[in-house]
Chains A and B, each alone.
Chain A
Amino acid sequence: MLKAKITRRDFLKGSVALAGAATTLSFLQLTSKKLNATEVYTPGWNIEWKPNVCGFCANICGLNVRVHEKGNVKKPLKIEGNEYDNYGQGKICARGQSGLSYLFNPDRITTPLIRVEGSKRGEWKFRKATWQEAFQYIMKKVQEHNIQPHEWVFLGGWHGCAQYRPWAFGAALLMEMLNLWGAPIQNCVGVEHLGIHAATGYFNAHDEMVVDFENANFILVVRSNGSLAGISTGRAHRFGEALKRGAFLTVVDVRRSETAARAHKFLKIKPGTDLALALAMLHVILHERYYGKTLYEHNLDFIKYHTNAPHLVIKMKHPVTKQETWWLLSDKDGIWWKNFHVWDERNNRLATVQGYSNHNKTDINGNKIEPALELSEEVRKQLLEGIKKQNPAVEDVKTVWELLEEKTKDYTPEWAEKITEIPAKDIREVAIMFATKRPSVVEPGIYDARYANSIQLRKVLTLMQMIVNGHDNVGGWIVGGEYRHKVAKFWEWLNKEGFDWIGGKYIKFPIGYPVEKSPYPTYNIPGVFWVLDVFFGLFLPNAQNPEAVKKFVTKLDYTDLVKSATSSQIPNIAILASFEQWAKFMSGQSKEPGVALPVVSDYGFDKAFEGKLKWNGKEYKPKAIFGYAINPVLGNPYGDKWKKWMEEAKLVVFFDTMPTDSNVYADVILPDEHYLERDDIILGRGNSHHLTVFKRSRVYKIGEGKHGVDFFFEMTAGMLGAKLMQEGKAKDMKEAMAKGAEIYIDFVAKMLGYDREEFKKLVFERVFKEGKPFTKAVYEYQLKELAKEVSEIKGKEVKPEELDKELKEKGFYDIETMEELLEKWRIPEQIPTTLPSGRIELFSTLFELVQTFYGYFPNWDPVCAYVPLRRKESGLAESEFFISHGKAPVFSHSGVHTLDNPLIVGITNWKKLHKIYYRVWMHPKAAERLGLKDGDYIEVINNEDPSKKMKARVFITEWVREDTIFVPFNGGTEAPVKFAVKPPEAARHVDVVHYKVEPLISGYTRDEVTVTVKKASA
């Protein structure tokens, strides 16, 4: 059992209380925020504190809103942090503070808007409309242009992904709109986290793991400014505690970011070469002995028993590409692993271990074993002979651990020095500190769509973290409460119901599709399993069909393989385009590979929108675009193309709170609610150590915005209803809507494991009889279910009314603490990960799966490999630079709600901040070379695609490398708004980067290019 932690803040509270008690009663009030708030401000005002939760970014910090009332006037005037939020711990950033500036922003969209007849898309010419009018307009256009489900492109930002995923995703699935694209994969979760997920199994959309900075002695941050000082408040708070306590911080970056500003050791690395540095650090840890001892010896039990380090791997040629590569020794069921093998040193024999399990302590029959990490040459020979008898193609056998040692052997600090320009002695020093100043942590980061090697970089850093510090422990990486709970429930269920439904003691996908037949609630399938399930259940269901796979592998005919799980079986655009490209690549017609796992990707959208994608001999071109809280024109390398695609589409609909660079191209804009306007459903606080839920209660309401979940409910009911009317299955629209609603309720209930009849009854009563919003019914149902669950956990009855009161008064409800959760469900010590092997995977099964389909690429080397950069590396011309980008702490990426926020703009315009946040950083020596003075206008041109260029102003500073320019990310919105700083006064990164993706998940590789800088006129 871990000791409960006392943060400095708690300690201060306590000591102040003691001190107060010793002096006067009035001073005692210092300890409590719950004093009568009216007394704090001018007498005569009635003041109320209302809890809420911030919606600017996925940190979702707890808020407390001070609402003032005087006479007939009521107004929220100030936002503070919410002390009941165990993750945010009562702290909020500048964005959080500016929530009211966003709420009252006169630019906000507060009613449905329909484009003025005769105006062009791209012009802000809209008329106000009612919701009904707007819905009818959309329906009319759908019918007029006969828009089929696969002809929609559904775009979603983080709200839809992290908060309302089951409701938005459920709507998309039900309406069979599988051309989904959004923030999660190519921009952030996928490209930054896949390397981590591949080794740990996490995936919970946002922050499934919490870094325990407070107890760490050494912190390593590679880029990742946005997830700490740039700013992610819940993390920054813990990070700040560590800094004050004196933890040693090493930052690797090309510039003095906010995080790098605090570094004790700052490694100003050559852009994009961080993977070489990480591999060299791993080399030092594994190969260079320190004081005669290894640097991981203390952690050997974890490595041996709870990772797949002792699992045997064999060297064999890829059956199609003929590349020599490594594979796990396993009996397979189709493409899935039934079991694994180890050398048992206890009994000196080959032992088989269970496919899905959290340990290697027993064989498949339950006998105790002692798995070997290294094989003697005699054993290797003996094993190889045995294996060869069954499969003569096998050339060698090793343990995963031995393979890891072999793979890292040549990645010496001296090798890395040549690539990174960081002296070998510094790399060695940092590696040794990481391994000895324990507990040490790597900040995993968010949002790293920069280089093709980002995924391997995060994987290697994860290997370092696991090898030195293990997993799920104090001072290291601790699994988030919500994710842990999901994994534990799934594991418990498997053990109770048996593994048979998935084919023995191993995992085989899909599990949760079709939703109707799933034995387990589809949406509750945890972690990477959920992703594999979606991929192999929805987008590529025919991967289970050996004939379809064989047709692709032998004849490069992918037509059967790519069919989707929809009734039309028409594939997702990205999947179709990827396989088309793979076929060309494998047949030698093209040197460009396709994309291995193009889930929720925009790969191939250019072909599709430009009429070059074909399916069954016919043009496969999207006709309609729907966007939910997303701004692709400003946030996507296809920015300029999105404008064109939206101009040409038959119908463009957005659901948003602010005018953006994108929704200015809409036909209809529907108003989303500001987070302070929401009467929300219960949501999980995924990024907390604890198991915590939260709810927003409306603070203030302006206009006619709808809650996202209500919107999806009504839209789905309407679309399905219209279809039923067309088919003659309903007598009028009212009946059709009710039937449509029933289908949606039934489907989402099944997906979430709700009691379908009960939920349906409740919704019909609240929505159709009482005229209340759908979210009311959802909340009521959730409360009841939560009360049951909490009662069970706490061992005493907790009534829904009690929970309701707590959630409305505090905003948050803690169900179980980290300590309680860690005691029973430590991953993988007590329960498995959500990877096919159930262990922490030093050799990734997921990457091996990709290798099976497409051959070996260093990008998905199952262990680790250096992925060279696809850009010019040396001999840069005088005006040529590497490029890097990042966001300022006061902004939320491409969200106009911060870019056009009067308070935020006021701060960013103050003195030097304007230069730092909006201008292009350049080193003084480079500026001198180009004859540039601080504040001069420049033109930045992409050297691979000169059509991509931007005009901006230069900020001359030694904070950035001489060979690199740093561009603040998307400050320069062109949305029709009043307050934002616009280009060229604010640099607009999206204009200078071109669409270039890596081959694993089509992650953007924005910075993998050089640019030319020229002086420009004002």
Chain B
Amino acid sequence: MENKNKLPNWAFVIDLNSCIGCNACMAACTQENQTPYWAEKFRTKVEQAELVKGDNVGRFFFPRLCMHCQNTPCYYACPTGATYKTPEGVVMVNQDLCIGCEACVTACPYDARYRYDYEDVVKNKELFGEEFSIHQVPHVDKCTFCYHRITKGLEPACVATCPTDCRMWTDLNNPEDPVAQLVLSGRAKPLAEHLGTNPKVYYIAPSSTKVEPVDMEEVYSAERGGKEE
């Protein structure tokens, strides 16, 4: 029992009431994790959506990242075991084992994975230096909850920088933590719960007012069906 308690039960909470779409999280993540911004590939991103209610058109910011599902479609899809889970349940990719088949990319219902191509590896080494590059081979890449930071007591890079604290970090094993309480009380909810993926990322929907009623799932579907080129 004691051993079990020692493992944190990490969770990520996003309060959509205070996201202002500044993209600081995208910038922090890409600097921390050397993701290929030059090829417009990001581990985390802030989607924007239009929601139309009669004459009233809202603008919504919707931060996205890997949901670190406890019931993990990508993990089951991976043929080589490159995708694995840490003892704390963080979903990771072993770059050396990844063969780039993209089965995981297809399996992920949240569009959270992308290819870190050979060209990206080369470019990254050029930018950060051979010595400091953390992407040595091509692979499928995704958010790690900044595992290298959280295991040493730091917040994920995006949480640490979020100017409005809309991104929050907690350990659900600490029920006293006000952020954990947002999850435990049911105020923060996982996205697309019906998929049964049991994510570790929880969202607080924008508060409804008579002026602008908001349904989070509606925001999600608006964003997915959003007008793209």
Residues of A within 8 A of B (CB): 8-9, 11-12, 15-16, 18-20, 22-24, 26-33, 35, 39-42, 45, 68, 70-71, 73, 75, 77-81, 90-98, 100-101, 104, 228-229, 231, 233, 236-237, 239-241, 243-244, 246, 256, 258-266, 889-890, 902-904, 906-907, 909-913, 915-916, 934-935, 957-959
Q: Flag whether B66 is at the interface (Cβ < 8 A).
A: no
Q: Are A244 and B174 neighbours in the complex by a CB distance under 8 Å?
A: no
Given A91-B24, A94-B24, A237-B165; 20 other pairs, CB 8 A cutoff: A9-B165, A15-B177, A23-B6, A27-B171, A71-B131, A81-B160, A91-B165, A95-B27, A96-B161, A101-B31, A236-B163, A240-B18, A244-B164, A266-B212, A890-B22, A890-B23, A903-B30, A906-B38, A907-B30, A959-B57
Q: Mark B172-196, 1 if CB is under 8 A from A, else 0.
A: 0110111100000000000000000
Given contacts A40-B148, A75-B129, A889-B21, contact A243 B48 (CB under 8 A): no
Distance, CA A769 to CA B174, complexed state (A): 61
- Selected from B24, B30, B42, B165, the residue in CB contact (under 8 A) with A92 is B24
**Segment touching A, from B101-109, B137-145, B221-229:** B221-229
Report how far A454 CA is from B48 CA in the complex, Å. 30
Q: How far is the CA of A32 from the CA of B171 in the complex (A)?
A: 16
- Are the C-beta atoms of B161 and A91 separated by less than 8 Å? yes
CB within 8 Å for A8 and B165 given contacts A902-B37, A916-B48, A959-B57: yes
Q: Mask for B36-55, Cβ within 8 A of A = 1, else 0?
A: 01101010010110101000
- Among B20, B148, B153, point to the contact of A228 (Cβ < 8 A): B20
Contact call B18/A912, Cβ cutoff below 8 A: no
- Distance in angstroms from A872 CB to nearest chain B CB is 25
Known: A98-B27, A261-B60, A906-B30. A41 touches B148 (CB 8 A): yes
Give the residues in chain A near B163, CB-CB below 8 Å: 91-93, 231, 233, 236-237, 240
17 residue pairs A–B, Cβ–Cβ below 8 Å: A16-B177, A27-B153, A32-B153, A40-B152, A73-B129, A73-B131, A77-B31, A80-B28, A80-B161, A97-B24, A240-B163, A244-B164, A256-B58, A266-B211, A906-B30, A911-B40, A915-B229
In the assembled complex, the Cα of A310 lies from the Cα of B68 at a distance in Å of 65
Asked whether B154 is an interface residue with its Cβ less than 8 Å from the other chain, the reply is yes
A26 / chain B contacts, CB cutoff of 8 Å: 153
Is B165 a contact partner of A244 (Cβ separation < 8 A)? yes
Asked if A24 meets B6 with Cβ closer than 8 Å, knowing A8-B165, A35-B153, A889-B21, the reply is: yes
Of A11, A73, A229, A915, most buried by chain B (CB within 10 Å of CB) is A229
Q: Is A19's CB under 8 angstroms from B23's CB?
A: no
The answer to whether A907 and B26 have CB atoms under 8 Å apart is yes
B48 cross-chain contacts in A, Cβ below 8 A:
912-913, 916
B22 and A93 contacting across the interface, CB-CB below 8 Å: yes
Question: Looking at the complex, which one of B6, B57, B149 makes contact with A256 (CB distance below 8 Å)?
Answer: B57
Specify the chain B residue showing the minimal Cβ separation from A8.
Answer: B165
Tell me which of A243, A889, A902, A934 contacts B22 (CB under 8 A).
Answer: A889
Residues of chain B within 8 A (CB-CB) of A258 are 20-22, 61
Interface residues in chain B, defined as those with a beta carbon under 8 Å from any beta carbon in chain A: 5-6, 8, 15, 17-18, 20-24, 26-28, 30-32, 37-38, 40, 42, 45, 47-48, 50, 52, 57-61, 127-129, 131-132, 134, 148-149, 152-154, 157, 160-166, 168, 171, 173-174, 176-179, 207, 209, 211-212, 226-229
Determine whether the beta carbon of B21 is less than 8 Å from that of A229: yes
Q: How far is the CA of A260 from the CA of B61 in the complex (A)?
A: 12
Known A77-B132, A237-B164, A959-B57: A15·B22 in contact at CB below 8 Å: no
* Nearest CB in chain B to that of A80: its residue: B160
Partner of A68, one of B60, B132, B171: B132
Compute how far the CA of A20 lies from the CA of B171 in the bound complex, rounded to whole angstroms. Answer: 10
- Can you list the 4 inter-chain pairs with the closest CB atoms, starting with the nearest? A240-B164, A906-B37, A29-B153, A19-B174
Which residues of chain B are near A231, meaning CB under 8 Å? 20, 22, 24, 163
B171 CB, min distance to chain A CBs, angstroms:
7
Q: Which of B22, B163, B166, B174 has the most CB of A within 10 A?
A: B163
Neighbouring A residues of B24 by C-beta, 8 Å: 91-94, 96-97, 231, 233
Count the A-B residue pairs with Cβ separation under 8 angstroms: how many? 219
Residues of chain B lying within 8 A (CB to CB) of residue A903: 27, 30-31, 37
Q: Is the CB of B6 within 8 A of A70?
A: no
With A90-B160, A240-B166, A244-B165 already in contact, the answer to whether A934 and B57 are too (CB < 8 A) is no
In the complex where A40-B154, A911-B228 touch, is A262 in contact with B20 (Cβ < 8 A)? yes
B27–A907 touching, CB < 8 Å: yes
Q: Is the CB of A957 within 8 A of B154?
A: no
* A586–B51 CA distance with the chains assembled, in angstroms: 54
List of A residues within 8 angstroms of B154 by Cβ: 33, 35, 40
Minimum Cβ distance to chain B for residue A126 (Å) = 26
Q: Which residue of B lies closest to A27 (CB)?
A: B8
Tell me the nearest residue of chain A to B49, going by C-beta: A912
Min CB gap A434→B, angstroms: 16
Alpha-carbon separation in the docked complex, A263 to B47 (Å): 18
Q: Are B153 and A259 in contact (CB under 8 A)?
A: no
* Interchain nearest-CB distance for B160 vs A (Å): 6
Which single residue of chain B is at the shortest CB-CB distance from A237?
Answer: B163
Chain B residue, CB-CB nearest to A24: B6
Contact of B23 among A80, A902, A907 (CB under 8 A): A907
Known A39-B152, A902-B37, A959-B59: A240·B161 in contact at CB below 8 Å = no
Specify which chain A residues have a CB less than 8 angstroms from the CB of B212 in the assembled complex.
Answer: 263-264, 266
Q: Are A18 and B176 in contact (CB under 8 A)?
A: yes
* Residue numbers in B under 8 Å from A12 (CB-CB): 168, 177-179
* Contact call A261/B61, Cβ cutoff below 8 A: yes
Q: Quick one: closest B residue to A917, CB to CB?
A: B23
Distance in angstroms from A1004 CB to nearest chain B CB is: 26
Q: What residues on A are CB-neighbors of B211 within 8 Å?
A: 264-266
**Is B17 a contact partner of A244 (Cβ separation < 8 A)?**
yes
Specify which chain A residues have a CB less than 8 angstroms from the CB of B38 in the assembled complex: 902, 906
Query: Which of B8, B22, B148, B149 is the one whose CB lies under 8 Å from A236?
Result: B22
> B33 to nearest A CB, angstroms?
10
B129 touches A23 (CB 8 A): no
Distance in Å from the Cβ of A761 to the closest Cβ of chain B? 45
> Closest approach, in angstroms, between the C-beta of B210 and any C-beta of chain A?
9
Residues of A within 8 A of B160 (CB): 80-81, 90
Question: Which chain B residues lie closer than 8 Å to A259 at the CB level?
Answer: 20
* Cβ–Cβ < 8 Å partners of B149 in chain A: 40
Does A241 contact B153, Cβ atoms closer than 8 Å?
Answer: no
CA distance A219 to B176 in the complex (A): 31
B8 x A97 contact (CB < 8 A): no
